[in-house]
């Protein structure tokens, strides 16, 4: 059978290109988030007074003629508007292209799923691709990366800022004539109501309502979640043979499952048996999850609004279990610290000794990695993604 990722396998190459673009898009937003023009935040009174009449949110679309008319009536505003356009059109274009790339990503993924369903790829269906090891990984990553994109954008670029930048780009460019997708892009990135400001409450039905703005094949979502629940898609368990290391072995998959569950929030709300299975497999001894490049979530807060998820997580968050895990990792840390000090003595790690003691060294390395990972995640001051702050009255157990 033809290798799924062979250059002449159109089915494999198509999904590989989509996933590659997904990672590039997230990287671009992480870069761009450092260069948001501060004026679009309208935080201080000086900016509000100077630019408040030329920077609009999506309310602009309810009456663009009236907004433009107010500008045309005042020559000084027209001059300011022209100057503002000249200073910001380049960065606005780059942001718009990034937003556009997210919309294109999900459109391309949906088209790929349609092609699979319609038999465009000979002898390939959604089911056969998921039976292939590479295909299964890529289909799971494709949905996960789309979810991460949306979370990163909402965390790094607040809704009001996104709206103001999109309206500014619309006004200052030929987008209204040249790009028929701008309406769809605005619908996808309109404000969710989420705010990263301290004390801000999580919006109702967030982020599942955000994730559902562009419909995705429900069978695909269900099958991806099923594979992530049941399979070891990256074959990591064999690298961590000890049962107490299982949650670390499956940590990458757990992060993917956490994100993809928001595409079918009914599981989080009502499907107690599935959530019990997920927690027992992935979160029996951990509740702070790294979902992408240092972005972490505290499940005690993230799953607070979901009855089935919250109930399933109760044992993990039980004070007795928390103390037991903390004591276990403290003991492991003390033990491996002594071993590491011995190994790192000058002249100890000679080639012949390393070759003779590979299993012992690997076991020590595994213990070190598992312990450090747990301690770093669960003792961090900010053990959660700001996207998942619970209301002040509903705070879960702290990760500290």
Query: How many H-runs (helices) and E-runs (strands) does the chain carry?
Result: 21, 2
What's the whole-model pTM score?
Answer: 0.91
Joined tokens for residue 113: 């799923």
DSSP 286-303: --EEEEETTEEEEHHHHT
Which pairs with CB-CB distance under 8 Å and at least 24 residues apart come from 94-97?
94/32, 95/32, 95/165, 95/169, 96/165, 96/166, 96/169, 96/173, 96/175, 96/185
Instruction: Confirm if 233 and 137 have CB atoms less than 8 A apart.
Output: yes
Q: Give me the pLDDT at residue 180, please.
A: 65
The Cβ-side half-sphere exposure at 239, using a 13 Å CA radius, reads: 13
**Quick one: DSSP state of residue 2?**
-
Dihedral-angle region of residue 295 (phi above 0 means left; psi in -120 to 50 means alpha; beta otherwise)? beta
Among 366, 354, 399, which Cα is nearest to 380's? 399
Give the model's pLDDT for residue 294. 84
Query: Among candidates 8, 42, 32, 218, which has minimal Cα distance to 121?
Result: 8
pLDDT of residue 398: 44
Q: What backbone phi and psi angles, to 5 degrees, belong to 199?
A: 85, -5
The position carrying tokens 């969710």 is 192
pLDDT of residue 281: 96
C-alpha 184/C-alpha 283 separation (Å) is: 37
CA-closest candidate to residue 151, choices 397, 393, 384: 384
**Residue 328: exposure state from Cβ atoms within 10 A (0-12, 13-18, ≥19):** middle
Local confidence pLDDT in tens for the 400 residues of the chain: 469 999 999 999 999 999 999 999 999 999 999 999 999 999 888 888 899 999 999 999 898 889 889 888 989 999 999 999 999 999 999 999 999 999 999 999 999 999 999 999 988 999 999 999 999 999 999 999 999 999 999 999 999 999 999 999 999 986 554 556 889 999 999 999 998 777 789 999 999 999 999 999 999 999 999 999 999 999 999 999 899 999 999 999 999 999 999 999 999 999 999 999 999 999 999 999 999 988 999 999 999 999 999 999 999 999 999 999 999 999 999 999 999 998 888 888 888 888 988 999 999 999 999 999 999 999 887 544 444 544 433 444 444 3
Round to whole Å and give the CA distance between 322 and 388: 21
Q: Decide if 22 contacts 105 (C-beta within 8 A).
A: yes
Q: Where are the alpha helices (DSSP H) in 157-217?
A: 159-172, 175-178, 182-189, 208-211
Spell out the residues 6+ positions from residue 91 whose beta carbon is closer than 8 angstroms to its own.
35, 37
Residue 385 pLDDT: 46
Longest dimension (CA), the chain: 85
| pLDDT of the residue at 178 | 58
Q: Residue 38 is encoded by which pair of tokens?
A: 């501060």
The reported pLDDT for the residue numbered 179 is 57
């Amino acid at each position: 059978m033809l290798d799924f990722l062979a250059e002449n396998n159109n089915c494999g190459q198509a999904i590989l290109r989509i996933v590659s673009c997904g990672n590039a898009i997230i990287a671009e937003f992480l870069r761009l988030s450092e260069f948001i023009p501060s004026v679009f935040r309208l935080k201080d009174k000086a900016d509000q007074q100077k630019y408040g009449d030329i920077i609009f949110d999506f309310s602009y679309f309810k009456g663009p003629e009236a907004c433009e008319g107010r500008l045309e009536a005042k020559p000084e505003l027209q001059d300011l508007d022209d100057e503002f356009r000249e200073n910001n059109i380049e960065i606005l274009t780059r942001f718009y292209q990034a937003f556009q790339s997210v919309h294109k990503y999900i459109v391309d993924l949906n088209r790929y799923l349609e092609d699979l369903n319609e038999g465009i790829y000979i002898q390939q269906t959604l089911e056969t691709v998921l039976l292939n090891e590479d295909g299964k990984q890529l289909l799971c990553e494709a949905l996960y990366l789309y979810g991460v994109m949306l979370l990163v954008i909402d965390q790094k670029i607040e809704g009001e800022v996104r709206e103001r930048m999109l309206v500014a780009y619309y006004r200052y460019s030929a987008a209204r004539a040249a790009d028929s997708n701008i309406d769809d892009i605005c619908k996808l990135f309109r404000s969710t109501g989420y705010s990263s400001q301290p004390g801000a409450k999580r919006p109702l039905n967030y982020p599942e309502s955000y994730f559902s703005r562009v419909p995705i094949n429900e069978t695909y979502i269900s099958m991806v979640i099923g594979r992530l629940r049941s399979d070891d898609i990256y074959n990591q368990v064999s690298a961590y043979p000890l049962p107490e290391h299982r949650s670390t072995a499956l940590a990458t998959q757990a992060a993917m499952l956490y994100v993809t569950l928001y595409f079918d929030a009914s599981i989080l709300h009502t499907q107690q048996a599935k959530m019990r299975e997920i927690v027992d497999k992935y979160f029996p001894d951990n509740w702070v999850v790294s979902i992408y490049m240092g972005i972490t979530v505290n499940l005690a807060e993230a799953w607070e609004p979901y009855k089935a998820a919250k109930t399933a997580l109760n044992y993990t968050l039980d004070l007795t279990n928390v103390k037991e895990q903390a004591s276990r990792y403290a003991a492991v840390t003390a033990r491996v610290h002594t071993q590491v000090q011995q190994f790192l003595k000058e002249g100890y790690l000679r080639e012949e000794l390393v070759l003779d003691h590979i299993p012992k060294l690997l076991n020590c390395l595994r213990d070190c990695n598992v312990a450090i990972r747990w301690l770093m995640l669960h003792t961090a001051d900010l053990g959660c993604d700001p996207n998942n702050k619970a209301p002040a009255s509903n705070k879960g157990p702290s990760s500290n």
